[in-house]
Amino acid sequence: MKAKVRVWRGGLVALLVVFSGSGYADAAQEAQVVVHADQPGAVIHPEIYGQFAEQLGHGIYGGIWVGEHSSIPNIRGYRRDVVDALKAIKVPVIRWPGGCFADQYDWRDGIGPRDKRPVRMNASWGGEDSNQFGTHEFMDFAELIGAKTYLSINVGTGTPREMSQWMEYITADGHSDLAQRRRANGRDKPWKLDYVGIGNEMWGCGGSMRAQFYADVYRQYATFVHAPGNTPIVKVASGANGDDIGWTDTVMSIAGSQIDAISLHNYTIPTGNWSHKGSATQFDESEWMSTLQGALHMDDLITRHSAVMDKYDPKKRVALVVDEWGNWMDQDPGARDAALYQQNSLRDALSAAVTLDIFQAHADRVRMANIAQMVNVLQAMILTDQSRMVLTPTYYVFDMYKVFQGATYLPVDVQAPAYRYRNASVPGVHATAGRDAAGVVHIAMVNLDPHHADTVRLTLLGVTGSAVDGRELTASNINTTNTFDHPDRVMPAAFAGATLKQGVITAVMPPKSIVVLDIH
Ligand code: AHR
């Protein structure tokens, strides 16, 4: 991780900082952030702001798709409110249809007239799938919101032939039978398929494979990934579960030359106990701390997986793709029919911000990430209830951070008092920075401490700012949520705590807050 606590390098101050009084002056601590605009790093791929939408619970049905005859306002069956909200955060890529669901999915069930499609058991998550949302509905949806497409291929119970036929159905531009069937089903032009994941969690729900075996299976499938005119499609190997560095090592050693990207899945469980993960809303400071520690662990994971990848790929041709990440809490007790439905609080916002900071610090290797999941499932952007929709605190982080999509990463040093709770301790302030195509420097800072404000002295090396503005996200309590009745309790507000006077930047960050500054 480049954003780390380290000794302050005095004497390099380009923009000196002075603190004046604030509402938090009594409790305020001091922190220092240095942004190395003079040492630009890699481009921050927009795809690290990607989403994951699995066919489960109300993630798709009710969340995205209501059908064109619904009384809920929709665009050809897609909820209009959800489409507008997703467009606003510039979703760069969507992964679908799973997750575990993908390895039991038959794509042929989801094409053709909707009233003829078979209802299937959802063996992964319970209930049934009507197949009303299939290939056409997904590819058109991605097109509608302007996102790239990432298909998770059924390797667990499928065949290479089914995969290559699915790809032909989607991408063929000639007169093959599959292209003609696509046209007969309403889509003339081929779609653009950007990424294919060769299986999902092949060590678990994808087939309980050992790494050696999967690596050979990957090679077999990868041989048959192609699209007309050699259109490039990024092939993503099913990667490790959290700390399983050995999986990455084995798969890279056996199949590395045929891999474009390898995935990593990591979830934060506040209690560390899968049978009692912790409540999304009723938690104390120890679970606030453990959740933030879980988010910070992402840096260690990426560093170690990337180091092993370096053995086989020192030039970092192969991307590390964190295509499932986020907080996994107990299912909301009030939503028993909605698998993996959980509320989302300020805690989720801060842990998302810290994780995105870490992805950016590893922009040279991490070139896509997909938060789990987009709507109504796990750490969602959006929750829906019939015709109502609410945007979560995590949504607003993606909104505030969208300025980083495509920017050039700028290394950051942070010196801040630790935030401690009982025996646990984490850096009190986390930060990231990037410069966009217009030359504006964006700096995001997270104050992890729920009790103390931080007066941050900001130094930019290699650039001189003449104006600063920004937005902040905070709330009254660590577990404040947006609800259908109170949808605006956690929302970004203009940040009044930054000043730039005579070349001096000061930012007074409230406790438990996220601030994104734009320096012109
Ligand atoms: O995101 C929920 C599930 O978590 C996915 O289906 C699976 O890949 C992972 O274990």
Every domain of the chain and the residues it spans: 2-40+410-519, 46-408
Going from the Cα of 74 to the center of ligand 1, the distance in angstroms, rounded, reads 28
- Catalytic positions, written as ranges: 201, 324
- Residues 255, 256, 258, 261: is their CA dihedral positive or negative? positive
The predicted structure's pLDDT at residue 22: 37
Contacts of residue 175, defined as CB under 8 A and 6 or more positions apart, other chains included, come to none
Kindly report the average pLDDT of the chain as a whole number: 94
Pocket of ligand 1 (CB under 6 A): 54, 98-100, 200-201, 324, 372-373, 378
Q: Please check whether residue 18 is in contact with residue 504, taking contact to mean a CB–CB distance below 8 angstroms.
A: yes
Q: What is the pLDDT of residues 388-420, one digit of tens each?
A: 999 999 999 999 999 999 999 999 999 999 999
For residues 371-396, one letter each, b for 16 or more C-beta atoms within 10 angstroms of the residue's C-beta and e for the rest, the string is bbbbbbbbbbbbbbeeeebbbbbbbb
Judged by DSSP in three states, 459 sits in: strand
**pTM of the predicted structure, to 2 decimals:** 0.94
Whole-number pLDDT of residue 336: 81
Helix, strand, coil percentages (3-state) for the chain, rounded to 5, are: 25, 25, 45
The residue whose CB lies within 8 Å of the most ligand 1 atoms, and thus the one to mutate among 56, 96, 100, is: 100
Q: What is the pLDDT of residues 33-92, one digit of tens each?
A: 999 999 999 999 999 999 999 999 999 999 999 999 999 999 999 999 999 999 999 999
CA atoms of 182 and 200, how far apart (whole Å): 26
Instruction: Give residue 215 CA to ligand 1 midpoint distance, Å.
Output: 21
pLDDT at res. 9: 25
Amino acid at position 32, single letter: Q
Query: ω before 97 within 30° of 0 (cis)?
Result: yes
What is the structure's pLDDT at 414?
A: 98
- Alpha-carbon distance 71 to 165, whole Å? 36
Q: Residues 501, 492: contact at Cβ < 8 Å? A: no
- H or E element, residue 212: helix 211-223
Q: Quote the CA–CA distance of 180 and 331 in Å, as a whole number.
A: 43
Q: Is 454:321 a contact under the CB 8 Å cutoff?
A: no
Q: Which residue has the tokens 């509608």?
A: 144
**Which pLDDT score, from 0 to 100, does residue 3 have?**
33
Where the chain has pLDDT below 50, the residues are: 1-26
Cβ–Cβ < 8 Å for 91, 64? no
The correct CATH number of 2-40+410-519 out of 3.10.129.10, 2.60.40.1180, 3.10.310.30, 3.40.50.720 is 2.60.40.1180
**Which CATH topology does 46-408 take?**
TIM Barrel (3.20.20)
